[in-house]
Amino acid sequence: MARHTFPRELRLLTPAQFKNVFDNPVRAASPHLTLLAKPNELDHPRLGLAVPKKALKRAVWRNRVKRVAREAFRLKQHQLPSVDIVVIAKKGIGDVPNDELFELMDRLWRTLSRRCNGSA
């Protein structure tokens, strides 16, 4: 059975890892979120989060978005291709309820998977 955890090796940790994703990525976007992805040499996907103060002023609001994004990734990680993903929050995401945010993330994961597998 697949383990649904979010250990350290499933995270983008260094600025170099983030920069690699920002260089010529595959995009999936909505009015509230942008997902950037780039294939990696590992056998699993990794996640990085960028939730700027400009999009959400309060730390609790930023933390909620990050928590939902991590949980959505944790549940979908085994269905994603081996890519590094950066989730970027945009202005207005604070008004989206958690359940709608989960659905939005799910749609964007599928779009990203299709685009990454199609380019491979």
Task: Decide if pLDDT at 119 tops 70.
Answer: no
The structural domains of the chain, with segments of one domain joined by +, span 11-118
Q: Please write the tens of the pLDDT for every residue from 7-29.
A: 788 889 999 999 999 998 999 99
At residue 42, the pLDDT reads: 86
- Look up the CATH architecture of domain 11-118: 2-Layer Sandwich (3.30)
On the 0-12 / 13-18 / 19+ scale of CB atoms within 10 A, 52 is exposed
Q: Please write the tens of the pLDDT for every residue from 15-74.
A: 999 999 999 899 999 999 999 999 988 888 999 999 999 988 999 999 999 999 999 999
Task: Decide if pLDDT at 113 tops 50.
Answer: yes
pTM of the predicted model as reported, rounded to 2 decimal places: 0.87
Count of CB atoms situated within 10 Å of the CB of 40: 18
